Amino acid sequence: MKSKKILITGGAGYIGSHAVLASLEKGYQVVVVDNLFRGYKQVIDVLQKKFGQDKLRFYQVDLTDKKALDEVFSKEKPRAVMHFGALCLVNESMEKPELYFRNNVLGTLNLLEAMDEVGCKNLVFSSTCAIYGESTYLPVDEKHPQFPTNPYGESKLMAEKEIVWFSKLKNLNSVIFRYFNVAGANIDGLIGDSKKPSQLLIQNAVRGALNIEEFKLTCPKVDTKDGTPVRDYINVEDLADVHILAVEYLLGGGESDVFNLGTGKGKSILEIIEKVKQVTGVNFNIGKSEVRKGEYAEIYADISKVSKILNWKPKRGIRESVESLVKWYKNKPNGWQY
């Protein structure tokens, strides 16, 4: 029987930890590599307690440390990799672009080399709709022009190009997922988002509704129906589910490809706030804070390609994301602690 071992970078972070949980529930043996710069060892401890250390192993390694990364791959020899290990704050990337090119571009290159050296040929990459920039048509499909408006999006596009060339020249099999906006938590309240401060709208709105911290708008005024940006919000558990499908697709001989991940529907920030108020039953105050840089007006996904090829469609909506976050933040209002 072939190994069911997969390695997950950034597995102690928000999205990565949900992919770890989904993989463990599907019977995979998981190896997590995370530098804990923005991830939390506590989430690994919780999952190891639930599934056992023989099913989940953890290495505190930075992707820019090639020697340490090589040692992990030489020891573990995974069959596939899910790559979530990246910095992802748009505003921060505008202020500190060097962090994003070093971590997201160099880190990905080191990962690709480490995989190649042990013959691991299957990669699922966490990319972003930020590579598209301002939409020239809607919904956005995978062929949309790519003009990032911030270093975060540019660094992810550069990482995508590295992967494409390794696919062409090194026989790498890859699935690149371009995420739209992610929301929600594990429905059982076991794990969730702990970024402090979070830049994710629904998370912050739920925290405002629960009176954990004041909710403040950080968006610029844009040319949309209500003057606030329109985005496509996908549930984090739906996101984790499709990563499992992608691993199985690659292990089954699927060809390298690129897919958008969203719901196919756009909601404005004010519409989302009203939905959070409706679901929670709390009419919380809306403050204002410093406007984020590098934002654009409207984007939402065409998901017909991933629906056709991977037979995937989102199962959860805004209500499920809000309800799961309420459960998570009531359990851990301050998230994981360092």
Classify residue 12 as exposed, middle or buried by CB count within 10 Å of its CB (0-12, 13-18, 19+).
buried
* Tokens matching residue 90: 């748009």
Q: What are phi and psi of 260, to 5 degrees?
A: -80, 145
In Å, how far are 2, 111, 295, 327 from 248, measured between CA atoms? Answer: 13, 20, 35, 31
Residues paired with 179 in a beta bridge: 128, 261
The answer to whether residue 152 is catalytic is: yes
Contact partners, residue 281, CB within 8 Å, separation at least 6: none
CA distance 150 to 89: 10
d(CA 81, CA 51): 20
Nearest C-alpha neighbor of 194 from the set 42, 21, 24, 78? 42
Helix axes 107-118, 66-76, angle to 10 degrees: 30
Q: 14, 152, 179, 233: which one is catalytic?
A: 152
Residue 216 CB neighbours (<10 A): 14
End-to-end CA distance of the chain: 39
The whole-angstrom separation of Cα 83 and Cα 142 is 20
The 10 Å Cβ neighbour count of residue 92 is 19
Task: In whole angstroms, give the CA distance from residue 175 to residue 82.
Answer: 9
H/E stretch holding 7 reads strand 5-9
Contact 174, 159 (CB under 8 A): no
Angstrom distance (rounded) from CA 162 to CA 108: 8
CB 287 within 8 A of CB 149: no
Residues forming the active site? 152
